[in-house]
Structure formats: structure tokens, C-alpha cells
Structure 1
Amino acid sequence: MRPALSLSLAAWLLAALPVVQAADAAAPKPLVYCTDASPEGFDPGLWDSASTNNVNNQMFQGLVRFERGGTALQPALATAWTISPDARVFTFTLREHVRFHTRPWFTPTRPMNADDVLFTFGRFLDREHPFNKAFPANFIYPQNLGLAKAITKMEKLDDRTVRFTLAQPNVTFVTWFAMAFAGIQSAEYGAQLLREGKAAQINRLPIGTGPYRFRSYAKDDVVRMEANPDYWGEPQKTQKLIFTISREAAVRVQKLLAGECQITSPLRDIDVGAIDRHRERIRLEKIQALNISYLSFNLRKPPTDNRLVREALDIAVDRDAIFRALFPRGDAMQAVNPFPPAIPGYNRTLKNEYDPKRAKALLRQAGFPDGLDIDLWALPVTRPTNPNGQLMAQLIQQDWARIGVRAQIRTYEWGEYLKRANAGEHSVYMSGWSGESGDADDFLTPNLSCATNKSGVKFCNPEFERLIDAARATPDQARRIALYEQAQVIFKRERPWITMAHSTVYIPTSKDLRGFRMQPNGGVVFENVYRE
């Protein structure tokens, strides 16, 4: 009897095998993104770097969002909004039946409501907020926008209606709710963390409403997320979303070609050709991004507190030589103004200048006839607008040496670099910005308004401030353009930055990836993106 039983069992297993194989074939494939830097944390309001935003944007959502691949606003956690005729009162109607993530460390008892919006923005507006006392925080982007000064009143009209009243008109205000910093947090989760004395956990174990929820993070190695089964939108075909961290650009390319990831952070110019040779299995997405790279001067300490020194250092830089070395494909353009020419209000009358002889004369006029010593910080991560910070620093060092400026190149690990730069330890450091809204204010207010200048390190010019405030307040597009053009004249005169590049952004993906669209800022959104 035993042989017959074994034969029956074997026959059953053979019959079942195709079913098992078919099930395996239909199982959702994990999606792996090779990113260039570690996230600084998981509380969206605390951070403004692209690498951190790319992670948090998968888990958190604002009241509105930008359309995929564009700058038009769409409903997100709010389904509708109204704006008063004077652009000072903004009322949002919240989406029903939105649930926060359920995780081992938190289980929501109710859908998202107005209390969550007030909790999120209350932390930005009130230094004495109970959560801020338990977890003191520096909300970089909200502070740079001057959010606490701009909003005079925030009201819960009912569970599904929130109203914001502004001190001054602001025609760009709604776009702020689509920015990464404005991801809505759970007030319930915040209250639980306060009760448990674990307020800092909000930056380590995130709870959002997005299509993916947090699983784990191994520092400088990998972030793991999984599909949110309670998501208010479409169920995600991708069940496992993985961000693997590789600082070296060449390593990311190798991993993509080896099939270890299906998409990477933007390529360096020199890597595009290598990817082009594998068109049979790699797709190359391309966009002229809304971005800029620049060198930022410390305006608080000598010698860069002297406008003549800043102008001399600017006009001593041979941008043509730098572009030949860093952008051999010719896809990048030299930056003249603080935002790219595709944005309305760009001043086309302004030009860059390369004149080492005049630069030397300016240094003499500034009191440095024998030159000067200065530190130059090299960007430690690759960016489309600055694909090799060390090489750029070396080329600038050579340019400055020709006018008697002795530059010492420094760099740090990315998180340390940002921390030290924000503390004003630099004389000149490399930075950059990517816009999301397609509006000039998205570049000027977060980077060049007086709200960014808490310590005197950054730019604050009353004349410039009046112009951008007036532009933000008027719905008259022609007047806005004229005001921004005037503001750029002041920017070019004062030289808080050495403007460097606006770049094309290339993101490579495997041919089996579906639903992905590049964002104008080069960011990634993986909602409804999957592998076939």
C-alpha cells in the first residue's frame, strides 16, 4: 500500500507545481531605488534636502500636491479650497476616510481630521507648542518661508474644514501645502509620544497617510517601506519599496546594470553615455529641471562680508572651463540669476562676467592688495547641477589663485556638511536648489529672504525684500514679472551667491518599470509605480 500512496502524493505534487509556479510569477516584484545619500530623518518639517524629501514623500502627503511630471496643483488630503479676493484667507475642505498608517508602535483610532492639520502646522507656528517643548526642533523650510510671521490665525471650523488667515496677501500660499515639509502628521500619534515621553521618535518612526509606510532603516545602508493597506487611493501593485543608499555615482550605475535596482538618483553627465549603451534594457528619462547650483558666501564674517570681495571672487571664476570639465555633453546652462530662465520673471538683461584683471583691482579696492586666504567647501554628494564637487572646487581654486586668493578646500560627510554650513562655519560653500511650483517665489523666498537669515550668515537686503514681498502679494502677472526682474538686479549687485548651473536631469530606469514620471525638480514619487 505504501508505494501506491507515494505515487498518489507524487502525482498530486506534480499537478500542483504549475499552480505554485504561476503564483510565484504573479507575485508583486519589489521596487528598489538606488539613492545617493541617507535621509537626515523622517519628520518632513525638519528637513529640506532632496534625498530626505524623496524618502518622506512616499509616506507623507500635504493638503494639495503637484501633478505628476508638472507644476499644476491637485487635491490631495484636501478635496477643495477657496481663496478670498484679497488672497489673505484660505479655507480647505479635508478628504474623508483617510487613515494614518497602522504600525507596531501606533494604531490610529479615527480618520484624519482638522486636528491633524492644526497639530502639523502648530509646530511650525508656535515655539511654545507642547510638542516643541518636548522635542525642540528647527523647521528649516517653514522658517525660511517666514511661515510663523505670515500666518496670523489658524482655525478648525469643523472636523473637515480648516482656515488660514495671513498678515499679507500671498498668491503663492496654496503651493506651500504641496511642499515636502507640509506632510500632515497625526495629532493622535503626537499625543501618544508626549504621554510616553518619546517625542523625538516622530523623527525616527514616522506615521503618515501616504501609499507606503515605514518598515525599517539601517543608517547609510537601506530604507525599507511597504504598501499601505489602508491607503485612501488606489492599492499599490508594489508591495515592497526599498531605498538602497550608495554614495558613489559609479556604484549606483553598476547596481542598475546588474539588476540590483530598477531606478537610480539622477545621473552625472559623464554616466549618461554608459547608460546609453544599454538601451535594450535601460530607459533614460530626461527633463530640463527647475534647478540651480551655486556657491553661497558667508555674509557674517570677513572677508566675504565685503561686497567687493564677493564680486571679485565671482568674476574670477572661469565658468566656460568648468562647464567643459563637468558638463561635457553640453546639456547644462550657466546660471546668471537665482532661478532658471523657464520661470516667469527671469531678467534676461543680466549677464555673467569673467575678468580676472578687474577682480584683482576689486580686491585692492577692498583692502587686499596681496590677496587673501579663504576656505572653499566642496559638495560631498553628486547632483545634476554639480556632478563633482571636488573637481569644481579644484577648478575654482585655480581660478582664484590667479588673482592672489589662496583657497583651502574642505568637505565633510553630507549630514555634517549641512549642519556646519547652517551654523555658519564656512566662508564659501557649494549648495543648490530645486523648485517645485514653477514660480520665482519658490526660489527667492526660501533662500534669499530675510526669514532665512536668523544668524546673519545669509542674504538679507531690505530693498530686495520689499520687491519679493510685493510680487508675492499681487495677482497681476505683469507686475509680478517686473518686480522679480528688479529684485534680480539687486541680487546681481550684492552677489550673495556665485551662480553656477541649471541642468538637465537624467534618471535611468529598467525597462520593466511602469508608471514612473520625473518631477520638474528631479524628485521621485512611487505611487502607482510598479514592475511588470
Structure 2
Amino acid sequence: MALGLFTACSDDGESGGDANTAEDFDFTCPERTDTDAVKDEAASESTPFVFGTPGEPSSLDPALASDGETFRVTRQVYETLLDTECTDTVPGLAESFDQNDEGTVWTFHLREGVKFHDGTDLDGAAVCANFDRWANFKGGFQSENFTYYYSAVFGGFAENDAEMGMESESIYQGCEADGLDATITISKYSSSFPHAFTLNSFAIMSPTSIDAVADATIEAADSPQPDYAMTPGSLAGTGPFTIESWDHAEQAVTLTRNDDYWGEKAGVKTIIFRTISDETARRQALETGDVQGYDLAAPADVQPLVDAGFQVPTRGVFNLLYLAYAQGNAPLEDHKVREALSYAVDRERIVNSVLPPGATVATQFMPPSLEGWSEDVVEYGYDAEKAKELLAEAGQEDLSIEFCYPTDVSRPYMPSPKDIFDMISSDLEAAGITVTATPITWTEYIPTTRSGECPLYLLGWTGDYADPYNFLGTWFADASTEFGLTADDQAIFDAVAAATSEPDEATRTELWMTANETIMEELPGLPLSSSPPSIAFAANVYPPNASPLTQENFAQVFFTQQ
């Protein structure tokens, strides 16, 4: 078959919440209105474009990352077989692809004349070298703290390391090269494909790079990133920029334009991604001209920035914020306790008080713009008295619980973690629950919550591609410590597996509905909201297209004549 387009930019979903339902928000991607902007050639060549980010990258090797701040940088440098526009899957390094009827054999036809930054030619053998590298990761490389996306998509590795908790059989069967063609074979159909080929964790690097880092090791799940992944120069991609430097002290990554890029050249010569964790400080840096753009403008800042002449495009909604119940912590294994916590939380108040206009109360673990969103899930509307009754039935009238939240960070789905934490805590306390607050810095937050150490915690997800598996499969494909799911939750695992392995689209949609209903019956956590994050730019900047996946292409940026 020829390359297809897979879209989820629709506005026909519904939400069970009364505050800002899905019908009130347009899920389509915003259209550009400034296409007649005139480029300031001198400024674009001589002036660095400085962009304020909420956090620092975790790695320069996207295969070893699962965080948006890493991908914001690496997406400009390393490219994938397929790409995204809005939430559509479009050509990337591959101009087209073919697949067999079973969806298990994928042949990618690569662009001619593409070179890696080190001068090596892109061909099928280079693609296969990358996929074989990931499949043969060993030791700590197999930890989900490093290669989360590989195990989530392909299930396991060529030789699983039991100490890393890897038990699932890999569906990756191999890759064969023939000139500019690369054929990837998997053992069974998965609805993740072809969308998963857009993931930046699967970006294609020069075989020379792969050879240069072949001796790198990661000993344990809690090891630091290998040295090569923290120092520019080891890895070569094909993208419109190269990484010039990473000043760890200043928390700034500098990119330089790749003038030999195969596609349209980047609009500015230099980009600096500078970490400014405080959202007020990011806004002030834009106002003073220290940065020319920043991410995650606070909802209260959007209109004042617009009134002051700044550009503040809003992304489409493609994320989810949730309150997790780690059932490895007593008494959260009791369904009545999880129900009580859910009824105790006033989600409409969070949406109306903290989140930007267009935010919607979530009723399940994916946004309503995706196929398989169900109108028939069990809902847990705010009812403090019912929460107290359920706690009494569970013998937990005096429940005390630890509640974790992240500090020094804003996320697209969670613009103000402390404010959201405070609102939920007050709701729980109103239901008679004693809350112990545990603030954790962002760098430690993901490993801590994944390990199941936090009974209650806030987290979320911005979708990578338009398939329900990217949401539901992320959390509920198998047993996990972060939600405390075990073999007792097999009904959830079976529901997700049935949906993602079903080739027929109509049947698959019904199965995803069933999966959503099953998950909300079991209640591993409480979906809170989906919301449209904003991104801000100076008046003299031609900004990138705002992506609902937060996957902006900064090669589109240039300075304009005023």
C-alpha cells in the first residue's frame, strides 16, 4: 500500500464532565495566519533564537529517553522514518512504505541523497543498524528508565534481562536492507504501527555513531545516562540542526543549522534551548527580550501577553492529566478506597480554576478525539458525602495517605502542579482523609513514581501518535509498579491486548471502548483533565506550527521584519 495519512484531529468527541466538555473545544490544529511574514535575513543569520523551556533534556540519545524536554531538542537533530503534521502520520526519511495484509512486514522506501551529519549516506543498511542496535540492548539499557519506548512498542529485547524486569517476548523479528529500502518484520499485528515509526526514540543515526558508542554500558536501572549521551559530538543524525554544545551549568543546549540538510534549510542559524523552570521567570524573560519564545505560558498570562503584542498560539488538546493510585500501597488495593478517593475530587473546580480555557474534565485515560473513547464508562462525579460513606464501608474512616507531586516543572497537561495538588488535597481532607505532602524534584519524580513508592501522585501524558494504544498501552498493557497492577488485573491487560491486535478498524474501535470501560471499572487511577497548552513568542518571530503533540519543528522559525 502507499503511504497513508492517519489523523485524530477531530471535534466530535464528548465528555462526561459538565465543565468545558469536549463539544466546547475545537480539537483541530490551529492554522497559520502569518504566512505573509517577511524574513529579516540579517537577524536570522546573526541573532540566536533563544527558547525558554520548563526543564532540561535527560539525554542526547533519544533511544534512551521518554521525556518531552529531551525530544524537543533531539527532534531537531535526529529524524525518523515517518513524521507527524498535526496528528497525521506523513513521510519522513521514508518517502513511502508498503505493508503486507497482516501488518507484520513493513518496507520503507528512503529518500535519495540524504546524508548524516558525519557525511555517511542514508540507506537501508543504516536503518537496519539502528533497529538491530535497539533490539540487542543489554543490561541496564533494558530498563524502562532508559528504553521505555522500545519495550512499550516491541515488547522485549533479543535477549531479555530478568534483572531489568524484562519478560515479554519481542515482536521485532528483524530488518533487511536492499539499497534505499529497509524491510522491518514483526511477529504480529499491532495498532501502534505505522504510527510508532514517528517516535523520536526510533530516530535514525549514522552507523558510524552506532559503532562509536557500541561499548557503552548501563549497569543498573538507577544508573546515570552514559557519558556519550550527555556530551555533544558522539551521535550524527540527518536533521536540520546539529548539537553544538550543552552547558550543564547554565542549563542551555545550543544547536547550529545544518547547511547540508536534504530538505528546506532552517530559518535561523542558531537556536538555544535554555531551561527556566519557573513559569513566571519564563514570561519575564520574554518580556525583557532575554528569550524570544517559551513554552507552557500560564493560563492567567495568555491574555496579558497577547494584549502586550506577543504571539501566544494554543495547541490542540491531545493530553491527559491523572491522579494515580499505586495499589502496591495499602489500603489502595481496596476498590472501595479508590472509589472514595475518586468521588472526593472536584475535577470541575480544577478545570475551571487552574487550567486554560478549553480544558475538559476527563472521564477515561485518553482524550475524546481518539477512536474508542466510550460514553459508557463508570463515572465518579464529585460527591464528598459518598466518599465518606465508602471509606466507612472499607473501615478507613481515619485514612492517612502520602501524596506526591513534582516541583520545579510545568508540563503541558499540568501547568501548575502545586496548585493542582493543593486543590486535590483540600478535597481529600474535606472527605476526612489526612494527606501527607511529598514534593519531589522532576528529575527524581519519574523514577520514584514508576517504582511505586508514591501511593498517590499526579502525572500525565501528551500523545505521541493518534492511536489509543499510545495512551492505554502506555500504562495498562501489562503488570506495572507505578499503578501496582498485577496478575489480578488480567482483565485490563486482556482488554488492551485484544484491541491493539485487532486489524479490523470498526471492531478495534469497539474493543477500545471495552478497554476504557474495563479500566474505569477497575479504577487504577482517576483521569482528571485534558487541556490545550500555550506557547509564547516575541512579535518579531515567525513561530513554528503549534503541535498538539508538542512536537514543534523549530527549523520553521525565523526573525521577521517589523
Normalising by the smaller structure, the TM-score range is 0.7 to 0.9
SS in 2 for 1:223: strand
SS of 1:399's partner is: helix
Instruction: Provide the residue aligned with 2:76 in structure 1.
Output: 58
Q: How much does 1:459 deviate?
A: 7.2
- What amino acid is the match of 1:221? Q
1:377 counterpart residue number? 405
- Equivalenced residues, count: 497
Bigger fraction of residues in helix: 1
Whether the 8 Å contact between 1:36 and 1:381 is mirrored in structure 2 is: yes
Q: 1:336 to 1:245 in 2, by over 3 A?
A: same
Larger CA deviation: 307-316 vs 346-355? 346-355
CA contact (8 A) 2:347 2:361 kept: yes
1:105 is matched with which residue?
Answer: none
Aligned positions of 1:258-407 closer than 5 A: 258-279=288-309, 282-327=310-355, 330-350=357-377, 351-378=379-406, 380-407=408-435
Q: 2:152 maps to what in 1?
A: 144
Quote the residue 2:24 is aligned against. none
What TM-score does the superposition give when structure 1 sets the normalisation length? 0.86
Secondary structure of 1:213's aligned partner: strand
- Superposed displacement of residue 176, structure 1: 0.5
**Is residue 215 from structure 1 mapped to residue 244 from structure 2 by the alignment?**
yes
Spell out, residue by residue over 1:399-447, the C-alpha distance to the aligned partner (whole angstroms, 9 max, x if none): 1112332111112221111222222221111111111322222211122
Quote how far apart the aligned CAs of 1:184 are.
1.3
SS where residue 491 of structure 2 aligns?
Answer: helix
TM-score, length-normalised on structure 2?
0.82
2:68 paired with 1:84 = no
* Structure 1 match to 2:7: none
User: Residue 160 of structure 1 aligns with which residue?
Assistant: 180
2:318·2:367 contact (CA, 8 Å) conserved in 1?
yes
Which residue number in structure 2 is paired with residue 245 of structure 1?
275
1:196, CA displacement in angstroms?
9.2
Q: Any conservation in 1 of the 2:312–2:535 contact (CA below 8 Å)? A: yes
1:411 aligns with 2:439: yes
Contact 1:101/1:213 (8 A) holds in 2 = yes
- CA shift for structure 1 position 117: 2.4
Question: Deviation at 1:512?
Answer: 2.4
- Looking at CA atoms only, which structure, 1 or 2, has the larger radius of gyration? 1
Structure 1: which amino acid aligns with 2:94?
A
Q: 8 Å contact 2:141–2:147 — kept in the other structure? A: no
- Report the AA paired with residue 30 of structure 1: P
CA contact (8 A) 1:448 1:459 kept: no
Taking a change above 3 Å as real, the CA distance of residues 483 and 150 of structure 1, as seen in their structure-2 partners, is farther
1:203-249 deviation per Cα after TM superposition (whole angstroms, max 9, x unaligned)? 53243211111011122521101001221112223110111110111
Q: In the alignment, does 2:545 pair up with 1:509?
A: no
* Cα distance in 2 for residues equivalent to 1:456 and 1:321: 25
Shift of 1:267: 1.3
Q: CA RMSD in A?
A: 2.7
Seen in structure 2, the aligned counterparts of structure 1 residues 315 and 123 have a Cα distance that, compared at 3 Å, is farther
Runs of 4 or more off by more than 4 Å in structure 1? 22-26, 195-199
Q: Is the 1:297–1:496 contact (alpha carbons within 8 Å) kept by the matching residues of 2?
A: yes
Displacement of 1:457 in angstroms is: 3.4
**Contact 2:206 2:237 survives alignment (8 Å):** yes
In the alignment, the residues of structure 2 paired with residue 448 and residue 215 of structure 1 have an alpha-carbon distance, to the nearest angstrom, of 39
Cα deviation for residue 84 of structure 1 reads 0.6
Say if 1:231 and 1:342 are closer, same or farther in 2 by CA, change over 3 A. same
Q: What is the rounded CA distance, in whole Å, between the counterparts of 2:407 and 2:324 in structure 1? A: 12
Q: What SS does structure 1 have at the residue aligned with 2:499? A: helix
Unaligned runs of 5+ in 1: 1-21, 103-107
Mark the CA change 1:393 to 1:24 in structure 2 (over 3 Å): closer, same or farther.
closer
Whole-Å separation in 2 of the counterparts to 1:354 and 1:136 = 35
Maintained 8 Å contact 1:518/1:524: yes
User: d(CA) in 1 for partners of 2:406 and 2:543?
Assistant: 36
Q: Using the alignment, how far apart are the partners of 1:45 and 1:195 within structure 2? A: 16
Contact 1:100 1:207 in 2 (8 A): yes
CA contact 2:365–2:472 (8 Å) conserved in 1: yes
- Call closer, same or farther: CA 1:530–1:357 in 2, change over 3 Å: same
CA–CA distance in structure 2, aligned partners of residues 142 and 527 of structure 1: 27
